[in-house]
Structure 1
Amino acid sequence: MNGTPNFAGWRVTILAEDDTNTERLNRQLIVLGMRVTRQWKPIIVSELPDLVMVDVDRGWDELIPWSGDKPLRPVVAILGSEAPGRIAWALRQGAGAIIPKPVVASAVFPALVLAVSIHEERIKAAGRIAHLEERLKLRPVVFSAVERLKAERQIDDECAYAILRNCAMRRRLPVEQIAAFFLVGSETLSEVG
């Protein structure tokens, strides 16, 4: 995250029953310019807010419509208990920050910033992993292109890979894409080697 976010206009859903903690939380979120909804029923996916805050002490699995490894929104846990099971549940829901009970105003903004930052980092990490997994799936294509270059040009592995790599760098394309083009015949690699 670059800088501290401005939460003005953000929609936040507090998943909790009415009590003094939710009243304090509601007041502080309004001060930050957020539009607050409080409910004690599951969130509907088509009505996702920008941020979710959940009473972890009483929450249940169907309250939030995602699993913890892929939260669709930043999550802040509101927690009064030290029970390991409740903390584990919060993590499974994707909580990126905790606001302890009793809620104090000074704890709200840092928790929001932390939850949003962690959520953004999770999204970036998932993107990097997906990209690397895709490249890994294409390694056999690169291997086949190297083998074909070796056979056609009577060169070793290192030279064949260097040809692919140099062509990819010159064209600013991934090595895997150049290898695939070469194998299907749309790339001859004639300008190299």
Structure 2
Amino acid sequence: MTVPRLIQNFKGGRALIVTSSRSAAEALEATLAKLGVSVERPALVDGRAELDIASLQAERDILFLDGDLDGAVVIDTAAGGRLPPVPIIGLVGVEAPSRLKALMNLGATGFLRKPVHGAAVYTALFLGVNQFLLRSEMQGQLEELGRRRQGRRFVIKAVVLLMQQTGLDDDAAYSLLRRESMRSRQGLESYCEQWLGNQADPAAQTMQETAQRPRADQA
């Protein structure tokens, strides 16, 4: 597994602080400014943060979310175990299991206790961002493995068809397909899917060739 490079310098980042606690926001803003991180505080309207989730950028944005606010930010992470679009650091006041669970379900990878102390901010930022990057890398690799697993059926079909067309054994047919996929700079699964799609009704053609081939008892 590829391990992403650890981020230690957060200069140029943007923190979005969703909290109703003025003291927590001010303490965060003062420390983040020293780290070169700009701060925005989305307004809370009827308990919901005025925040466009789709516009957030993982390369720049970090979301500080107060766990004492119920439903202030809605992020769909349930389907397929998706990660949130940006690192989330939970601000924890009341350490009730239900509130901690809510932050976990949103994908929080770092936590910071209230009242916020400046000395703890960098640690929370470091853990929150780098854990997010690690999970993103792992999820990407799992998705790639899933795509390759789904594509194995094309590899099997292509090997069988190539054996029928050329008389090669399975190892030789597989090696040929692998060489061709590398030459075309495609993954083996994608290459085999494309190769099969380019065959003119391969199943019917193979059946016809088999039917026209003289049988041993008719020779």
TM-score higher than 0.5: yes
Residue 24 (structure 1) aligns with: 27
Residue 59 (structure 1) aligns with: 69
Residue 147 (structure 1) aligns with: 160
Residue 117 (structure 2) aligns with: 104
Residue 44 (structure 1) aligns with: 52
Q: 1:156 offset after TM fit, Å? A: 3.4
Structure 1: runs of 5 or more not aligned: 187-193
Q: 1:88 offset after TM fit, Å? A: 0.7
Q: 1:170 offset after TM fit, Å? A: 4.8
Q: 8 Å contact 1:164–1:179 — kept in the other structure?
A: yes
Residue 147 (structure 2) aligns with: 134
Task: Tell which structure's C-alpha radius of gyration is larger.
Answer: 2
Q: 2: distance between equivalents of 1:18 and 1:80?
A: 10
Amino acid at match of 2:122: F
Q: 1:46 offset after TM fit, Å? A: 5.4
Q: 1:47 offset after TM fit, Å? A: 5.3
Q: Assess, with a 3 A threshold, how the Cα gap between structure 1 residues 111 and 154 changes in structure 2: closer, same or farther.
A: same
Residue 191 (structure 1) aligns with: none
Structure 2: runs of 5 or more not aligned: 201-219
**Aligned residues: percent identity?**
29
* 172-181 or 93-102, which deviates more: 172-181
Q: 8 Å contact 2:16–2:63 — kept in the other structure?
A: yes
Q: 1:181 offset after TM fit, Å? A: 4.4
Aligned length: 184
CA RMSD of aligned residues (A): 2.4
Residue 88 (structure 2) aligns with: 75
Deviation by residue 1:79-121 (Cα, 9 ceiling, x = unmatched) = 1222111111011111110011222111101111111112222
